[in-house]
Structure 1
Amino acid sequence: MKIAIMGAGAVGSYYGGLLARAGHAVTLIGRASHVAAVLRDGLRLQTLAFDEWVPMRASVDPAAVADADWVLCCVKSNDTEAAAAAISPYLRDQALVLSLQNGLENAERLQALLPRHRVQPVLVYAAVELAGPGHLRHHGRGELVIGAGPDSEAIATSFADAGVPVQVLADLRAAQWSKLVVNCAYNALSAISRLPYGRMIQGPGIEATMREAVAECLAVAHAEGIPLPADLWPQVRALADAMPTQQSSTAQDLARGRRSEIDQLNGYVVRRGAALGVPTPVNRALHGLVKLLEAPPGGDPADHRAD
């Protein structure tokens, strides 16, 4: 199968590398330095199970999606519209677009902009980072969750053959919200503190702050009619013990001077809470603090306000 990865950062390179290792014709589409390293040496795929160099195609040009059967959209949420516009002229009529992105709205945004194509949301549970151009480092997990549909069996089989655990759910919405709750508990605090989860959660008052953020998320989900378990906190708390050295993607974005996805995480909960009449003061504070950190030195935080 021919597969293109649009936005081949850490997540895209990880799954693209595994699919290429399994024999698929994979093309990474990403930043020039990463592309140059992959074309020269292949992708160094350093996982918990193996450390190998995987040869594959790579390009900086979105037109490289032209012959793909599947396109994995792995861009940041803020770049969803731009990515859709970039690949739209080149997509094959039968191409399937998979959204491996944070947040609850990206697949819908892609579908609205790519009305002739099938768009499948995919939940990602992987701790990965780009350790350098052409070098992917895997820290833990790696499973995917997809919704039931006409393409779900083919998706699950292809990823499973590449060594990726896949779960198919009849209703993906509750799983999407569960992941959002975890992100709202960890991402902002990891970015603000610049600490990995294990150390961060030991800070005075941090665990209580996380519990309050989770409670607000659950209240908004309940108002939305999403059936989340009331006792979700133990699962959220367990992540710090399971991944004590992990830093959030939001922390990694800020460390690189990039805009984060906080508007689609805590910011989304704040917006939905306001629309539904549910107070979200902790999530609002976490969102606002990250937006302050995103602002350029001497700049106006309003330059990065939520859409």
Structure 2
Amino acid sequence: MKIHIVGGGAIGLLHAGLLAQAGQEVTVWTRTDEQAKRLQAEGIRLEMLDGVARDIAVNSHSLPSLLAGQAGQAGADAEHAAAWIILTVKQCHIDERLLHQLQRLSSGKSALLCLQNGIGHMDKLAAALPGTLLYAGVTSAGARRIDDARHVRHTGDGPLWFGAYAEDKKDDNLQNLLLNILKSAGFRAGLSNEMKDRIYQKLLINAVINPLTAIYDTTNGELPEHPSRLKLMRSLFEETSAILAADGMKSAADGWQLVMQVCAATATNVSSMLSDVRAGRHTEIDWINGGVSGLARRIGIASPLNDAVTTLVKQLH
């Protein structure tokens, strides 16, 4: 099956590599011509969980080439249209230019799976792509890009859940096809009718761990080791949990234990937000803690800690 991966970061390269290795026809759409040329010529260097690395051939084009009329008019031409588009870029990159590029890339028969952290992106995509079947996804797979172009390391195995953003806009055959393909590629994939709840549950974990690792410049495992950091983690958890529960998240009795388990299971990991801060890149703080703050304002709940960590992380950019 033809699958477009939009985004050449760690998660995009991981999905592209595993799917191509399983025999799917994969095209990676990158932000730069340079990365697309490297991937087209040399493929993805995929380092597996067991340490074995292999080169995997993929097609690749740059996203700017869509608007420049290159790459064979990919979206407009049925010859290049994909059954599935998997969007792996960070929220900060979902701007008007990318939305226009996605309009060109998608077709009337395409479905779009979105794997972003945080909240707010699905409404934006639905407005820009009214004719596209939208699916929200949540993944716990870990990946780290080793170089700027093609080398990615699979660092953690976790479930991938996805489901239709709107119940009246889905294709059972298409979603089951993707589910089976993901499983054949080695993903622990599943379909869910409770994607809002799954998105909120992941948002809760990200809203506690990501900003505080960035602020304290520490790994996930080191974060709860100091009493004052642990106390702040718990307070941020309680505030965020109350806000998300007020908007429909199902409260889990072991929610706090799950946050601690994630810190332990990913103890040596540098969070994506800390990685972005260290590299001088824009973070996803506006869509994680900033998203929680925006939600709190809409439902009339105070969010002082989420407001504070949003401001602090933005000062680190």
* Distance in 1 of aligned mates of 2:229 and 2:152: 31
- What are the superposed Cα offsets for residues 180-217 of structure 1, whole Å, 9 maximum, x if unpaired? 00000111111122221112221341111111111111
* Distance in 1 of aligned mates of 2:230 and 2:33: 40
Asked whether 1:258 is paired with 2:260, we answer no
Q: Which amino acid aligns with 1:57?
A: N
Asked whether 1:143 is paired with 2:159, we answer yes
**Map of 2:136 onto structure 1:** 121
Asked whether 1:227 is paired with 2:242, we answer no
Out of 87, 90, 98, which is 1:76 matched to? 90
* Distance in 2 of aligned mates of 1:269 and 1:110: 19
Equivalenced residue count is: 294
Q: Which amino acid aligns with 1:80?
A: I
- What are the superposed Cα offsets for residues 210-239 of structure 1, whole Å, 9 maximum, x if unpaired? 111111111112211222214310011111
**Map of 1:185 onto structure 2:** 208
* Distance in 2 of aligned mates of 1:61 and 1:25: 18
**Map of 1:19 onto structure 2:** 19
Name stretches of at least 5 consecutive residues in structure 1 with no aligned partner: 295-307
Q: Which amino acid aligns with 1:28?
A: V
Offset, 1:130: 0.9
Query: Would you say the 8 A contact 2:120–2:291 is kept in 1?
Result: no
Offset, 1:270: 1.1
- What are the superposed Cα offsets for residues 38-94 of structure 1, whole Å, 9 maximum, x if unpaired? 223211101213321111111113535522221111111122233221121342220
TM-score (norm 1): 0.90
TM-score (norm 2): 0.88
Matches within 5 A, 1:148-163: 150=172, 151-163=174-186
Query: Would you say the 8 A contact 1:35–1:134 is kept in 2?
Result: no
Out of 159, 179, 198, which is 2:221 matched to? 198
**Map of 1:172 onto structure 2:** 195
Q: Which amino acid aligns with 2:195?
A: L
* Distance in 2 of aligned mates of 1:268 and 1:212: 18
Name stretches of at least 5 consecutive residues in structure 2 with no aligned partner: 165-169
Identity of aligned residues (%): 29
Q: Which amino acid aligns with 1:55?
A: A
Q: Secondary structure at the match of 1:260?
A: coil
* Distance in 2 of aligned mates of 1:36 and 1:142: 31
**Map of 1:99 onto structure 2:** 114
Query: Would you say the 8 A contact 2:201–2:249 is kept in 1?
Result: no
**Map of 1:59 onto structure 2:** 61
* Distance in 2 of aligned mates of 1:20 and 1:232: 36
* Distance in 2 of aligned mates of 1:232 and 1:142: 17
Q: Secondary structure at the match of 2:235?
A: helix
* Distance in 2 of aligned mates of 1:172 and 1:39: 34
**Map of 1:299 onto structure 2:** none
Q: Which amino acid aligns with 1:168?
A: L
* Distance in 2 of aligned mates of 1:28 and 1:90: 12
Q: Which amino acid aligns with 1:103?
A: G
- What are the superposed Cα offsets for residues 94-128 of structure 1, whole Å, 9 maximum, x if unpaired? 01111111122222221210111111111111221
Q: Secondary structure at the match of 1:201?
A: helix
* Distance in 1 of aligned mates of 2:231 and 2:242: 17
Offset, 1:161: 0.8
Asked whether 1:108 is paired with 2:110, we answer no
Q: Secondary structure at the match of 2:146?
A: strand
**Map of 1:300 onto structure 2:** none
* Distance in 1 of aligned mates of 2:198 and 2:271: 19
Asked whether 1:212 is paired with 2:255, we answer no
* Distance in 2 of aligned mates of 1:183 and 1:89: 32
